[in-house]
């Protein structure tokens, strides 16, 4: 009743679960920890680190899969990088990628995934199953099939969307390419955020929520004061991962092909088209990959700062 709680009675309870500085409570010891981590690290070293470094090294060559440069690639130093950076389409692609990632992933998938996960806690079983299956299907179908799905939906003359909205003749992918691929990516990738947040929410002790509810906190306050602090690191992990993945995602190519006149050409699509279609200039493509990596690194650093700043 009456006045909403201005204090935060539940925060004290939440603090207990926040871990102290990393401590070896199980008595693992350096060596055993090393042994536990070793299999993963070895696998990663061989099958990930090595090819990745090799790929980056290719960025320094004018290496291609066919043609004379396949037989004897020359060391070209930083020329691939300067070529890439001086290409006017590069900056445009970078800008479009930031839009794409920001709206479809950081905002779209994140928020929608969380809302769905939050809703599922109290939703009736059959609703949960149906929505789960739909969201999941959007995620697991292969890219080629998804391209057909969206072609059927957005086709100018025969598309489902135009039939429903009675707007036959509207060429969605040509007139509004960025909006289309942003919505497309939200549709495509929300499943992962939904999955991760469901798991994350299940780690929130219901006792804390009970306490908050009894203290008169309304749902959005429970959310703010109990849930979000508890799953803070999950939120940041999810955001970091989906940012990284969306940054490298070239599925929009299947829908708009880079858009009419490069209007929806995000960086991964740009890389795919210039370096990997036709005569595959892998050296150029690798240089791009490194630039993409640098962009991701900058974003990762921003996130890490955010994470460290939140450890009060």
Partner 1 sequence: MSGIDPVVRQTLSRIGVYVGVCVATVFFALPLLWLVLTPFSKHPSYRATLNGVSLDNFDKLFHNPQLWRSLRNSIYLAGGTAILVIVLAALASYALSRVRIPGRDQLLYALLLLSSIVTGTAAMVPIFLMLYQLNLLDKQFAVVLVLSGGLLPAAVFMLKDFVDSIPRSYEESARVFGASPSQILRHIVLPLIRPGMATVGVWALVQVWGNFLIPFILLSDEKKYPAAVVMYTFYDTGGQPNFALISTFALVYSVPVVVLYLIVNKRYGFSFQGGIKG
Partner 2 sequence: MRPRVGAIVACATAATLLLAGCVSGKKTKTDPTKNTSAKNVSLTISANDIVGGKNAAEADWITKDVIPGFVAMEKAKGVTAKVSFVGAGVDDEKYKTKLELNLRTGKASDVFAADGIWLGELATAGYVKPLSQVVGNAATSWDGWAQISNTVQQNLTYQGQLYGVPNGTDGRVIYFNKKLFAQAGLPADWQPKSWDDILAAGQKLKKVSGVNPIQIDAGTPMGEATTAQGFLPLLAGTGQPLFDATSKKWQGATPQVTAVLDFYRKIYQGGLGDPKLQQDQAGRDQSFAEFSKGKIGMLVEGDYFWRSIICPDKSTTACNTTAMPDRNTTVGYALIPAEKPGSGVNGQDFVSVSGGTGWYLSPDTKYPQQAWELLSYMGSLAAQTQLSKAQVRISARDDVNKTTLGNDPLLTFIADKVLPITVYRPSDENYVAVSVAIQQATADVVAGKSPASAAKTYQNSLEKAVGGSAHVQTG
Q: Which is nearer to partner 1, 50 or 95 (CB)?
A: 50
Q: Which stretch binds partner 1 (CB under 8 A): 24-32, 86-94, 171-179, 258-266?
A: 24-32
Q: Which stretch binds partner 1 (CB under 8 A): 7-15, 84-92, 259-267, 297-305?
A: 297-305
Cα separation, 187 vs 49, in Å, equals 32
**Are the beta carbons of 197 and 231 closer than 8 angstroms?**
yes
Q: Which does 12 bind (CB under 5 to 8 A by kind): partner 2, partner 1, none?
A: none
Interface with partner 2 includes 53 (CB under 8 A)? yes
Please, which of residues 225-244 interact with partner 1 by CB under 8 A? 230, 233-234, 237, 240-241, 244
Q: Which is nearest to 204 in space by CA: 8, 10, 5?
A: 10
Please, which of residues 168-207 interact with partner 2 by CB under 8 A? 171, 173-174
CA distances from 31 to 21, 24, 272, 293 (A): 20, 12, 44, 32
Count of residues making up the chain: 312
CA dihedral 231, 233, 235, 238 (to 10 degrees): -130
Bridge partners of residue 61, in order along the sequence: 75
Q: Which is nearer to partner 1, 153 or 215 (CB)?
A: 153
CB count within 10 Å of CB 19 equals 7
Tell me the angle at which helices 177-201 and 88-100 cross, rounded to the nearest 10 degrees: 40
Interface with partner 2 includes 280 (CB under 8 A)? yes
Coil vs helix vs strand at 83: helix
Bridge partners of residue 132, in order along the sequence: none
Q: Which does 241 bind (CB under 5 to 8 A by kind): partner 2, partner 1, none?
A: partner 1
Cα separation, 21 vs 31, in Å, equals 20
Please, which of residues 65-84 interact with partner 2 by CB under 8 A? 65-68, 70-73
Please, which of residues 124-183 interact with partner 1 by CB under 8 A? 127, 129-146, 148-153, 155, 158-161
- The single residue among 279, 294, 297, 301 that binds partner 2, judged by CB under 8 A, is 279
Which residues 6+ apart lie within 8 Å of 187 measured at CB? 138
Interface with partner 2 includes 268 (CB under 8 A)? no
**Are the beta carbons of 252 and 301 closer than 8 angstroms?**
no
- The single residue among 47, 54, 95, 119 that binds partner 2, judged by CB under 8 A, is 54
Interface with partner 1 includes 91 (CB under 8 A)? no
Interface with partner 2 includes 49 (CB under 8 A)? yes
Q: Which does 90 bind (CB under 5 to 8 A by kind): partner 1, partner 2, none?
A: none
- The single residue among 113, 189, 229, 258 that binds partner 2, judged by CB under 8 A, is 258
Interface with partner 1 includes 74 (CB under 8 A)? no
**Are the beta carbons of 17 and 204 closer than 8 angstroms?**
no
- Report which DSSP code applies to 207: H
Binding site for partner 2 (CB under 8 A): 45, 49-50, 53-54, 57-58, 61, 63, 65-68, 70-73, 147, 151, 155-157, 171, 173-174, 254-258, 260-261, 277-280
């Amino acid at each position: 009743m009456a006045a909403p709680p201005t204090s935060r009675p539940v925060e004290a309870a939440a603090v207990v679960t926040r871990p102290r500085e990393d401590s070896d409570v199980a008595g693992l010891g350096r060596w055993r920890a090393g042994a536990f981590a070793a299999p993963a690290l070895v696998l990663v070293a061989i099958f990930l680190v090595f090819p990745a470094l090799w790929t980056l090294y290719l960025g320094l060559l004018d290496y291609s899969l066919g043609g004379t440069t396949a037989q004897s690639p020359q060391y070209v130093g930083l020329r691939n990088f300067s070529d890439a950076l001086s290409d006017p389409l590069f900056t445009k692609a970078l800008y479009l990628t930031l839009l794409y990632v920001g709206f479809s992933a950081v905002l779209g998938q994140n928020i929608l995934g969380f809302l769905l996960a939050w809703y599922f806690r109290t939703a009736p079983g059959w609703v949960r199953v149906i929505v789960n299956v739909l969201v999941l299907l959007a995620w697991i179908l292969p890219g080629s099939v998804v391209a057909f799905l969206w072609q059927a939906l957005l086709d100018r003359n025969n598309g489902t969307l135009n039939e429903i909205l009675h707007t036959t003749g509207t060429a969605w992918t040509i007139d509004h390419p960025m909006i289309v691929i942003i919505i497309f990516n939200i549709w495509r990738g929300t499943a992962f955020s939904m999955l991760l947040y469901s798991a994350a929410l299940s780690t929130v002790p219901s006792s804390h929520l009970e306490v908050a509810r009894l203290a008169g906190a309304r749902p959005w306050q429970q959310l703010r004061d109990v849930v979000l602090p508890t799953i803070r690191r999950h939120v940041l992990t999810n955001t970091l991962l989906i940012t990284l993945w969306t940054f490298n995602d070239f599925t929009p190519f299947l829908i708009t092909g880079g858009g009419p006149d490069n209007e929806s050409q995000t960086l991964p699509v740009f890389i795919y088209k210039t370096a990997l279609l036709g005569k595959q200039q892998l050296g150029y493509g690798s240089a791009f990959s490194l630039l993409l990596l640098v962009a991701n690194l900058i974003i990762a650093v921003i996130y890490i700062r955010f994470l460290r700043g939140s450890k009060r």
